[in-house]
Amino acid sequence: MKAYEIRNGFGLDHLVLTERPIPKLGQGEVLLRMRAVSLNYRDLLVIKGTYNPRLPLPLVPVSDGVGEIVEVGPNAKRFAVGCRVAAAFVPGWIEGELTDTKAKTALGGAVDGLLAEYAVLREEALVSVPAHLSDEEAATLPCAGLTAWHGLMVGGIKAGDTVLVQGTGGVSLFALQFARMTGARVIATSSSDDKLLRLRALGACEAINYRTENEWGDIVRKFTHGRGVDHVIEVGGAGTLSQSLRAIRTGGHIALIGVLSGYGQFNPVPILMKAVRMTGIFVGSRTMFEAMNRAIEIAGLRPVVDRVFMFGQSLDALRYLESGAHFGKVVIRF
């Protein structure tokens, strides 16, 4: 089979297309013929060596994908040949709380990911995907979709709440869609006026250009008549957190998800003074994934896919993701 590997060092120039034997099946395992994978910012960090410069190489990157089961191993009974399934981002996290041991099983990190024509996974790490979704749409669910879902659900979102989302990456757009699905209002930010129009078309009631409005946290408060939002899907990190703390209401919830604006420093005093709840979100469990998929199926929700590349164009897809030009998910089709 063909697979992309990070070889002889980190960086996009070290991601090479190679030949590997199709993996053999063990107890409780299944063989997937991959149909599509989607890219996350984490994949760029892994390939560049900034996620963990001590990762063992060679390594197959990319965590999110959907495939067809073409073979089942001994005692594998959850799925049959021909089923279309997605892999959980953290295969060892079935339910309950995250632990160090579970976290170490995350795909495309310390263990091989899915940027290959075939993959072997334990059957308990797999979930059925909503039937109405295309392969490309279904491939976007394991990380971006579930991260947004987890961030909103742990915050106790309900109809009538107001949610702040940042930018137009996969997590933020999923959060916008899920929030609207539950009857919440959404305020969105972007650096592009064109993207702000698209955010409004998706259901954002207000949209702010954070390039021209540096103190956007105060503008968010004006949109909420001085109260502040109930939830923030925080994907920026230290560079945006001070504004998010301006935007959040007293007693509100911030789902801390990404570090797109860098690491840096911030003042934690507003967290104390406003009794803000802040939760670190590391994607979610298989049980959460299954619950999200049920909701997606009932609502008929369709993920936002920006652009689809072919497997042989994987480097082009990663460079496009790196450019930040995308609106939604970047997907690779096999």
Domain of residue 128, CATH code: 3.90.180.10
Do residues 165 and 189 both lie within one domain? yes
234 burial via Cβ count (<10 Å: 0-12, 13-18, 19+): buried
Do residues 129 and 241 both lie within one domain? no
Widest Cα–Cα separation across the chain: 61
What is the pLDDT at residue 266?
72
Domain containing residue 178: 145-280
Is residue 259 over pLDDT 70? no
Do residues 276 and 309 both lie within one domain? no
Q: Is residue 287 part of a domain?
A: no
Do residues 6 and 132 both lie within one domain? yes
| HEC letters along 170-213 | HHHHHHHHHHHHCCCEEEEEECCHHHHHHHHHHCCCEEEECCCC
> CA 270: distance to chain centroid?
28
Query: Residue 225: which CATH number?
Result: 3.40.50.720
pLDDT band at 236 (very low <50, low <70, confident <90, very high): confident
Name the domain count of the chain: 2
Show contacts of 307-314: CB within 8 Å, 24+ apart: 307/331, 308/36, 308/136, 308/332, 308/333, 309/333, 311/2, 311/117, 312/17, 314/4, 314/15, 314/17, 314/115
Do residues 123 and 193 both lie within one domain? no
Is residue 267 over pLDDT 90? no
Q: Is residue 286 part of a domain?
A: no
Contacts of 183 (CB under 8 A, 6+ apart): 158, 159, 160
pLDDT digits (tens, 9 = 90+) for 92-143: 999 999 999 999 999 999 999 999 999 999 999 999 999 999 999 999 999 9
What is the pLDDT at residue 263?
59
What is the pLDDT at residue 74?
96
Do residues 314 and 231 both lie within one domain? no
DSSP tag of 145: I
pTM: 0.94
pLDDT digits (tens, 9 = 90+) for 19-56: 999 999 999 999 999 999 999 999 999 999 999 999 99
Q: Is residue 293 part of a domain?
A: no
Do residues 100 and 76 both lie within one domain? yes
Q: Is residue 77 part of a domain?
A: yes
